[in-house]
Amino acid sequence: MVISSIDLKDGKVVQLRQGKDPVLERDDPEALIAEFDRYGEVAVIDLDAALRNTKPDGSTANTAVLKKLLRSGNVRVGGGIRDAKKAKELISLGAEKVIIGSAAFTLADGSPGINTAFLEAMVQAIGKERIIVSVDSREGKIAVKGWTESAGIELVDGAKAVEQYCSELLFTCVEREGTMTGIDMDLVNALRSAVSCRLVVAGGVSSVQEIAALEEAGCDVQLGMALYTGKVSLRDSFIECLDWDKCELIPVVAQSEAGEVLMVGYANRDAFARTFETGKLTFWSRSRNELWTKGLTSGNTLDVIRLRVDCDRDTVLAIVNPAGPACHTGAWTCFKTGSDRAYSLEFLSSIIGERFANPKPGSYTATLTPERVREKILEEAEELTEAETHADAVWECADLLYFISVLMHQEGVSWKQVFDELDRRHKK
């Protein structure tokens, strides 16, 4: 599959040719990641950190932007990660994986070599499954320090040496980076034959056909220049990377953001294209033999948030926002008979938001002022601490969560933000 790349320099999104010559610049990183997240993983690279353009406190001109992006999708982050403390901090801030490069191929005294002490410390700190090692190559040898120097290590030898410390390798052919002149398939095949872990390829990709060929070879692709210049589209790349050899229709599991499975349908190439075009989940109707956008007649559409492909490339998970019941029977999901959606904190928040936006006669929620809510939170918290039975504790917890949710709405705080903060503390 395709991983979209967001390279940051001086607080802007940039694309460089061969890591040095600027080609384009944008100032909409949050809009970009919102778009890229629909199709898959996103790589965010702090080029200033990689080039040591840092402030005394270790931050860069990109730090504030980078922190915002880390919780905005399935993000892997790289650039200037030279110690386990920094890696752990980035994981706690929301990165799913970290990309390390020069530090893996530079010894403590600055000389070239496989830095096993550093790699072992990284594994100990965040786990092998969260580590990606970048094996960037210039003229067949590992390139380090922002691609300005050679480590003198043969590409394949370096990759084999670091594989035990990571879950993935990211291979960039420096000579072709940003040139869109095509992938060096000989190097890719040599690398693919030498290692068994996931291999992501970047540098020179110029067409959907190349992406499909890399997928056939067992490699994923990280896209930069070809994506930003419009030479390759994420829509076409997503569709072509699915395993159409197994069947003409791909199962699509529709799931809410809260994790509730709503329905399963089947899609062909045209259905996926229509989904991306409209933002509404579209299937191929096997009974009517035609494209079918869910809810087009009833109004109960499934608005697509993001699509994810399974490891075998033959099933798609669609994370959606349902406009109403998903089942034709009127049930909220096709796997239950009841019409009620599963209750969750997010559902509670949506009800509270609706009460404030469209107050109903007699609505208690709509009458709550920020001052009154704060009073009720103090009152309910005290009652919870004084609860004498299990049933009383449950009752008071429900009261407290309700009033907390009202205050959160008034303050513009979401449950996702709260859970993100708890996740950060857990990983710190």
Contacts of 88 (CB under 8 A, 6+ apart): 125, 126, 427, 428
In a domain, 331, yes or no: no
- Quick one: 139 exposed, middle or buried, by C-beta within 10 A (0-12, 13-18, 19+)? exposed
In a domain, 335, yes or no: no
Confidence tier at 180 by pLDDT (50, 70, 90): confident
In a domain, 339, yes or no: no
Secondary structure (3-state) at 340: coil
What CATH number is given to the structural domain containing 309? 3.10.20.810
Which of 214, 241, 268 terminates a domain? The answer is: 241
- Answer for the pair 41, 222: CB distance below 8 angstroms, yes or no: no
User: Same domain, yes or no, for 111 and 223?
Assistant: yes
Q: How many domains does the chain have?
A: 3
List 220's β-bridge partners, or say none: 200
In a domain, 369, yes or no: yes
- Answer for the pair 246, 314: CB distance below 8 angstroms, yes or no: yes
User: Same domain, yes or no, for 227 and 255?
Assistant: no
Predicted TM-score (pTM) of this structure: 0.86
- Please give the pLDDT value at position 94: 93
In a domain, 333, yes or no: no
User: Same domain, yes or no, for 308 and 350?
Assistant: no
Which value, to the nearest 10 degrees, does the dihedral of the CA atoms of residues 205, 308, 45, 180 take? 10
83 catalytic per annotation = no
The 10s digit of each residue's pLDDT in 35-49 is 999 999 999 999 999
7 catalytic per annotation = yes
Which of 322, 353, 383 terminates a domain? The answer is: 322
User: Same domain, yes or no, for 186 and 282?
Assistant: no
Confidence tier at 138 by pLDDT (50, 70, 90): confident
User: Same domain, yes or no, for 209 and 138?
Assistant: yes
Of these residues, 46, 48, 136, 220, which one is catalytic?
136
Structure tokens at 199: 């291999």
In a domain, 337, yes or no: no
- Answer for the pair 318, 254: CB distance below 8 angstroms, yes or no: yes
Query: What is the Cα–Cα distance from 20 to 261, expressed in whole angstroms?
Result: 46
User: Same domain, yes or no, for 182 and 273?
Assistant: no
- Please give the pLDDT value at position 52: 86
DSSP H stretches of helix in 231-389: 234-241, 269-278, 345-357, 370-385
Residue 20 has pLDDT above 90, yes or no: no
User: Same domain, yes or no, for 305 and 280?
Assistant: yes
User: Same domain, yes or no, for 103 and 216?
Assistant: yes
Domain with 280 in it: 250-322
Of these residues, 7, 37, 48, 236, which one is catalytic?
7
In a domain, 332, yes or no: no
- Please give the pLDDT value at position 336: 87
User: Same domain, yes or no, for 298 and 175?
Assistant: no
User: Same domain, yes or no, for 318 and 364?
Assistant: no
Residue 148 has pLDDT above 80, yes or no: no
